[in-house]
Structure 1
Amino acid sequence: MTEIQKKGIPLALAKRDVLGAAKTGSGKTLSFLIPVLELLFRQQWNAADGLGAVIISPTRELAVQIFEVLKKIGRFHTFSAGLIIGGKEFKVEQERISRMNILVCTPGRLLQHMDQSAGFTCDNLQMLILDEADRIMDMGFQNTMNAIIENLPPQRQTLMFSATQTRSVKDLARLSLKDPEYVAVHEKAEHSTPKTLSQHYVVTELPNKLDILYSFIKSHLKCKTIVFLSSCKQTRFVYESFCKLQPGVPIMHLHGKQKQTKRVDIFRKFTSTQHAVLLCTDIAARGLDFPAVDWVLQLDCPEDAETYIHRVGRTARFDADGHALLILVPSEVEGMIEELKKKRVPIEEIKIKSSKQQSIQKQLQSFCFQNPEIKYLAQRAFVAYMRSIYLQKNKQIFNVTALPAEEFAHALGLAGAPKIKFVKKAEKKLMGAQPAKKADTEDESENETAAAAAEEESKDEKEEQAKGQKTKYDRMFQRKNQDILSEHYNKLVDFEGDKVTLGGGMDEDDDEDFLTLQRVNHEIESDEDDEEGEEDKDEGDIKDLDDENISKRKLKMTKKHKIKNMPKGEKVIFDEEGNAHAEYEFINEEDFLKAGDAKTQIKAFIDEKSTAMETADKEDKEIVRQKRLEKKIKRKERERAVTEGYSGEESDVASDEDNVSAMSEDESESEEEEEEEEKADRKRKWYEEQESESEAEDTKKQKVIDVAEPQTLEDQEALALKLLGAA
């Protein structure tokens, strides 16, 4: 057994809380897997007992590696073990998680199952193990771990292992540890890294980093190398461009933006390959056991000494030999070397022979010129690197203003550096911290150097023109006013986020937009200036863009983007007096309570509206009754006219007064008749036409004949003639 296994396993078997710290590659995984299996076996744990142990790791790849080791050493036990990580089917995990005795997981996925899986409980948990505990307990996983710990029972055993162990009182209090045993095997050792690891660093300018990397790969074709970069976008760009360069060794890349299945495939492929180069981010910096890694090359500076220790720990594991190379920019050297000395890391400086160094800048320029996707990746890689430097906490090591941005952009194959807002902010802060006099002198010196540089450039151009030797790519990169932005880059630019301040700069509160173009100095002109401008236009004079109140980007804006930037109006309501009010206006609580409390006001409002509705209902009924009465009068008049025309002197017709009285008496009957007529109209089909008034009158004439009862034979004859005439 190793030292950490000799000291850690007995304490864990005695059910003590353990804080284990040991060098990378010293066998910490077995130090907690063996006690897990042993303690559960002693208690005769089975499927009915539920979940007994949870092992949490910060990355998915490390969780996969721990699970593989658990399967090897636990194949003779009857425990059920599960791997719970992101990127897999969640429903399949939900079906099986309630039957697991041991779980190997990442923090986010475990919390998701605690919230969403119905049959999953941790009430009977015996052991909680945190691998790479210092990474899990930092700010990135703080909220997730707090939520997980709340769901775990306090009566449990906790084991924490890492190469750089945390001893923070706050972290230990969050886990509610009980008298933990601190097992630091190499705490008193001379160095905090393995003895078999040789460590060196190189100081170079930022634009030369990719040249050094390519030269290193070409001179180490029969080695297994891991290269660490600071961001996923850099990793993707270097991978795509180096694959096109074909250095003669398999190149792979591993970062957090890939899908889980692809990450696992790359992890296993690199593990089984004898000679390869793996470009990766810090996702592969902790705990992963790649066999027979010869070199660990850190192209970008790590954020602190602990990250450096974890990165170089991928080589020289157990008793094997290994080499580590750190590439530093001149502004990072002093601060980083001091940090490494504090952590007892022995590192020496070496220098690269200029004869063995190859330049790939022209090839990258050719790739960006021919392939817009490579150009897009280069732009994203540039911004990602500058942003990673800007966001680092330790400003003594990472100073974004000290980096040569323009030269770095040329080294990536770009014709120019995109303007980045946060770099200008950092420069403004530095200028504000310095006295005004120093700032003035610096401006003067910068102007002098700029003038001297311009003179030198003009001389170089004249010499080149005299030689007359120019390639197609030279002419392309020497053009004036060229558009260096590809279509992909233009999609990143948000016109809606462009805000112009009165002083002509960008709005400092807008931190989201990192990619911006250079703005024009704007000045608000008065009405007199506008009038003068109109007169100048009439005379035919042309103004420069610097004098206009419109930026270059606004001139290039389409109508769609202009509409987006237009101010949106607010809906207003006008009262009876013509005053404008907002759609919803609120009053103060004191003014509201003057009319009584809320309940009384609600009751008064309901009573007021109900009385208004009742009066309106009565008025409506009265109007309907009057209309029906008018209809009845007209109908009676038509019937009387018809009867008078046919009956003459013999028919007895009532007077108008009699008609009115009859109508008042038969009002209820008329209402019923009206309702029946309405029902008949509703029942009438769409294809049935309504009868006209003339047809209705004819039918009434045919059906209704008012005559007196015949008394004599002459009366009967007259009635027969009328009936024949009506027919």
Structure 2
Amino acid sequence: MISQSSILGLKAAGFNQMTDIQSKSLPFSLKGRDVLGAARTGSGKTLAFLIPVLEILYRRKWSKADGLGALIISPTRELALQIFDVLRKIGPHHLFSAGLVIGGKNVKEEKERISRMNILVATPGRLLQHLDQAVNFDTSNLQLLILDEADRLLDMGFSKTVNAILQHLPKSRQTLLFSATQTQSVNDLARLSLQTPEYVGVQEEDSSVATPKNLEHHYTVCELNEKLDLLFSFIRTHLFVKTLVFLSSCKQVRFVYETFRKLQPGVPLLHIHGKQKQPTRMEVYARFLSSPASVCFATDVAARGLDFKQVDWVLQVDAPEDAETYIHRVGRTARYTNKGQGLLFLLPSEEDGMVKALKEKQVVTQKIKIKDSRTLSVQNQLQKFCFEDPEVKYLGQKAFVSYLKSIYLQKDKSIFKLEEMPLAKFAESLGLPGAPKIKFINKEIAQRKKNANRELKSSTSKSATEQSSESSGSDDEDQPVRTKYDKMFERKNQLILTDHYTKLVDHEEDGLNFGGPGGDDDDDFVTVKRVNHALDDHVPLPVIQDQDLSKRKLKMGQSKKAMLKYHGNPTKVVFDEDGLGHSIYEFGKVADGAEAELKMKEAGKKFAEAERERLKQIDVEDREVEKEKRREKKRKRKAREREEMGLEASAGPGDADDDGYVSPEFDLPTSDEEDMEKEAAPKRWGPVPVKRSRLEETAGKFGRSLEDDEALALRLLRGES
């Protein structure tokens, strides 16, 4: 029996009847036993572990002061959010505190609140981060650990993270592990985390069917360049249903979403993929849940565990990697008692292999044919979008490459055949002017050609050696050793240097003649026999027969020590203008050196004279600039004085400035001019002569003194003659 608080929460959330997995697992989990549960998608696994979480903590009278009591680990953020929403719906009558810890949110806020949580729903990466960094996060009193979608956890590469999390948790705990499929990795994880578990739902009554009974499976065969036309035609004819469309890569999802949104099919369009930020993914997920009719383009990030309400159709435009992925994708519809339909698009090269793989998983699909009269073509519109918008063209190129890369990386080559893909037509269907270059395809083709050539050469060489051994009956030890130089001169695929090498080498000893016509090579300019220049006759090595050397002996002959010992220091010959050769370090004659020295001195004198003249000219220009600066400064000073005094007067001849104004200070020299005069005046010893004013000099010229002029001025003022 469960508590009244849980019953009220279940009724308020609309859960009135238990499913098979719930009725089989709850008796064991409520007794505190470890449970390993397996059931197909949509069978109610979420309530199978949420009810024990609430009931066990309720029976043990868990409170906020007791700390963390239950930990639920989910592979994806969307699934963790879904579990947390269900927990809030069925647990409002309990007094437990619950929290959600997923990536994409503020870590500091989570660290502050995580210590106050009784039930925690988390993704593996962020949970391990808090276990390593949060000081107040204590898991020593943990009662229950739940691993949801364990197969998905391991498929996404979280095996090391989950093992690290298990090291932080106490061993005296109850563990519930739920998975849609039982694989070897899941069994290994169960052995590490569970203690004498109870296997629930592994052998179901209706084990012959891997999907719900109220789910209809269909597939259609089309060419690669017709997929988008069929997809758009389906959306235009199903405007009042909720459709989930699966594509193989994030870039394909973005391209289809952006282009179809421009085409305006008449139904809301959404898209969700792993490259989106967490707030965006949560917003799209919530909008698709609440929308009565919409189309959501998604990758396999939405193929596991997510409970989309009232999904009518699941379209798989790109074939899944295996039958299990198909089951998880199509399991987003026909949840619980609802009905649903699935449609799979297959290429002609994928039909036989995929249908066979689905039959092995007890999935029976029905082939349908779509009428050409009801199919709309969007190729011209996509070409227009790519021509007008470079970003759409860029997305199309990335979608093209990402799809082919997904086909290239598939394990089952009997289904996915990259060499049979019509690349040019596929690029045209995306609106691209041509097929982009793909590096990994070119490498694959080159590698295949290389391997084919190697196999052909090895087969021909083996047959030739077998024939020669049968005819001669001699051992291989009697044959001479061939060096890399022999192989180089025997190459026939060097189109540029073949003629050059054949003219330089005398092949008479080998029975070959590449000379002029008729086998006569007397017309050749140079004919050189093939010799080994690395060693000389006086090298103290064993007698070499037919100039066939091993690599070790060639390296010995070419070493620096051997070259210096037997050939001396290296020399280099250079040619002068007259065509005469001499050593690069050769000393010249004494007379030539003296003449060169005189020429060098004359050139130095000419250079010094030219620099002297240039500096003189620069000095004259600098003086003119300095004079102009002084004049400008004087003009500005006079203008400032005129503004201050407010006087206007006409100047006499010789005393006026450029603007006709006479200074009341009798045009005294500026401070800059006085400094110039002081610098120009010669320095003398003795007293400095007193400089007379202009009035004194004028009075001296007419034979009067200054006192006489003053007395005359007083008499004139008094009216005396």
TM-score (norm 1): 0.59
Q: Mind listing any 5+ residue stretches in structure 1 that lack a counterpart?
A: 440-520, 530-727
Are the counterparts in 1 of residues 312 and 339 from structure 2 also a CA contact under 8 Å? Answer: yes
Question: 1:171 Cα deviation (Å)?
Answer: 2.6
CA distance in 2, matches of 1:109, 1:380: 31
Counterpart in the other structure of 2:171: 154
Counterpart in the other structure of 1:141: 158
Q: Which amino acid aligns with 1:111?
A: L
What is the 5 A alignment of 1:604-623? none
**What secondary structure does 1:140 align onto?**
coil
For residues 377 and 524 of structure 1, do their structure 2 counterparts lie closer, same or farther at Cα, with a shift above 3 Å needed? farther
CA distance in 1, matches of 2:75, 2:32: 24
Counterpart in the other structure of 1:90: 107
Aligned mate of 1:362, from 380, 400, 421: 380
Are the counterparts in 2 of residues 85 and 105 from structure 1 also a CA contact under 8 Å? Answer: yes
Counterpart in the other structure of 2:60: 43
CA distance in 1, matches of 2:160, 2:32: 28
Equivalent pairs, count: 448
Counterpart in the other structure of 1:61: 78
Are the counterparts in 2 of residues 401 and 427 from structure 1 also a CA contact under 8 Å? Answer: no
For residues 431 and 369 of structure 1, do their structure 2 counterparts lie closer, same or farther at Cα, with a shift above 3 Å needed? same
Are the counterparts in 1 of residues 423 and 435 from structure 2 also a CA contact under 8 Å? Answer: yes
Counterpart in the other structure of 1:310: 328
For residues 58 and 526 of structure 1, do their structure 2 counterparts lie closer, same or farther at Cα, with a shift above 3 Å needed? same
Q: Which amino acid aligns with 1:357?
A: T
For residues 197 and 523 of structure 1, do their structure 2 counterparts lie closer, same or farther at Cα, with a shift above 3 Å needed? farther
Counterpart in the other structure of 1:672: none
Counterpart in the other structure of 1:230: 248
Are the counterparts in 2 of residues 401 and 423 from structure 1 also a CA contact under 8 Å? Answer: no
Counterpart in the other structure of 1:27: 44
Are 2:190 and 1:172 aligned? yes
Aligned mate of 2:31, from 14, 31, 47: 14
Are 2:217 and 1:199 aligned? yes
Counterpart in the other structure of 1:213: 231
CA distance in 1, matches of 2:151, 2:441: 31
CA distance in 1, matches of 2:268, 2:335: 23
CA distance in 1, matches of 2:44, 2:453: 55
Q: Which amino acid aligns with 1:25?
A: G
For residues 76 and 345 of structure 1, do their structure 2 counterparts lie closer, same or farther at Cα, with a shift above 3 Å needed? same
CA distance in 2, matches of 1:234, 1:243: 14
Are 2:364 and 1:346 aligned? yes
Counterpart in the other structure of 2:508: none
Are the counterparts in 1 of residues 216 and 341 from structure 2 also a CA contact under 8 Å? Answer: yes
What is the 5 A alignment of 1:196-595? 196-431=214-449
**What secondary structure does 2:349 align onto?**
helix
For residues 436 and 332 of structure 1, do their structure 2 counterparts lie closer, same or farther at Cα, with a shift above 3 Å needed? farther
Counterpart in the other structure of 2:656: none
CA distance in 2, matches of 1:311, 1:200: 14
CA distance in 1, matches of 2:169, 2:175: 11
For residues 318 and 146 of structure 1, do their structure 2 counterparts lie closer, same or farther at Cα, with a shift above 3 Å needed? same
Counterpart in the other structure of 2:558: none
Deviations 1:519-566 (A, max 9, x none): xx999879989xxxxxxxxxxxxxxxxxxxxxxxxxxxxxxxxxxxxx
CA distance in 1, matches of 2:444, 2:206: 41
CA distance in 1, matches of 2:500, 2:453: 39
Counterpart in the other structure of 2:572: none
Are the counterparts in 2 of residues 80 and 100 from structure 1 also a CA contact under 8 Å? Answer: yes
CA distance in 2, matches of 1:68, 1:289: 11
Are the counterparts in 2 of residues 16 and 181 from structure 1 also a CA contact under 8 Å? Answer: no
CA distance in 2, matches of 1:438, 1:250: 58
Are the counterparts in 1 of residues 36 and 197 from structure 2 also a CA contact under 8 Å? Answer: no
Deviations 1:24-78 (A, max 9, x none): 2221111000001111111111122221111111111111110011011111111
CA distance in 2, matches of 1:395, 1:425: 18
CA distance in 1, matches of 2:414, 2:500: 52
**What secondary structure does 1:331 align onto?**
coil
Question: 1:382 Cα deviation (Å)?
Answer: 0.8
CA distance in 2, matches of 1:338, 1:128: 39
For residues 44 and 329 of structure 1, do their structure 2 counterparts lie closer, same or farther at Cα, with a shift above 3 Å needed? same
Aligned mate of 2:142, from 125, 132, 143: 125
Which of structures 1 and 2 has the bigger CA Rg? 2
For residues 206 and 438 of structure 1, do their structure 2 counterparts lie closer, same or farther at Cα, with a shift above 3 Å needed? farther
Question: 1:389 Cα deviation (Å)?
Answer: 1.3
Are the counterparts in 1 of residues 175 and 194 from structure 2 also a CA contact under 8 Å? Answer: no
RMSD after superposition: 2.4
Question: 1:200 Cα deviation (Å)?
Answer: 0.6
CA distance in 2, matches of 1:171, 1:426: 37
Are the counterparts in 2 of residues 3 and 185 from structure 1 also a CA contact under 8 Å? Answer: no
Question: 1:94 Cα deviation (Å)?
Answer: 0.5
CA distance in 2, matches of 1:303, 1:142: 21
Question: 1:392 Cα deviation (Å)?
Answer: 1.8
For residues 523 and 164 of structure 1, do their structure 2 counterparts lie closer, same or farther at Cα, with a shift above 3 Å needed? farther
CA distance in 2, matches of 1:98, 1:172: 28
**What secondary structure does 1:137 align onto?**
helix
For residues 139 and 88 of structure 1, do their structure 2 counterparts lie closer, same or farther at Cα, with a shift above 3 Å needed? closer
CA distance in 2, matches of 1:522, 1:284: 56
Question: 1:351 Cα deviation (Å)?
Answer: 1.0
Aligned mate of 2:94, from 61, 66, 77: 77
CA distance in 2, matches of 1:438, 1:322: 55
For residues 176 and 317 of structure 1, do their structure 2 counterparts lie closer, same or farther at Cα, with a shift above 3 Å needed? closer
Are the counterparts in 1 of residues 24 and 200 from structure 2 also a CA contact under 8 Å? Answer: no
Counterpart in the other structure of 1:455: none
CA distance in 2, matches of 1:70, 1:53: 12
Are the counterparts in 2 of residues 252 and 278 from structure 1 also a CA contact under 8 Å? Answer: yes
Q: Mind listing any 5+ residue stretches in structure 2 that lack a counterpart?
A: 1-17, 458-492, 502-721
Question: 1:186 Cα deviation (Å)?
Answer: 3.5
**What secondary structure does 2:310 align onto?**
coil
CA distance in 2, matches of 1:372, 1:139: 34
Counterpart in the other structure of 1:541: none
Question: 1:204 Cα deviation (Å)?
Answer: 1.1
For residues 423 and 46 of structure 1, do their structure 2 counterparts lie closer, same or farther at Cα, with a shift above 3 Å needed? same
CA distance in 1, matches of 2:214, 2:80: 27
Question: 1:376 Cα deviation (Å)?
Answer: 0.6
CA distance in 1, matches of 2:42, 2:134: 36
Are the counterparts in 2 of residues 235 and 280 from structure 1 also a CA contact under 8 Å? Answer: yes
Question: 1:212 Cα deviation (Å)?
Answer: 0.7
Question: 1:191 Cα deviation (Å)?
Answer: 0.9
Question: 1:370 Cα deviation (Å)?
Answer: 0.5
Deviations 1:87-115 (A, max 9, x none): 11111101000111111111111111111
CA distance in 2, matches of 1:24, 1:278: 20
CA distance in 2, matches of 1:437, 1:78: 73
Question: 1:146 Cα deviation (Å)?
Answer: 1.7
Q: Which amino acid aligns with 1:91?
A: K
TM-score (norm 2): 0.60
CA distance in 1, matches of 2:135, 2:42: 39
For residues 147 and 437 of structure 1, do their structure 2 counterparts lie closer, same or farther at Cα, with a shift above 3 Å needed? closer
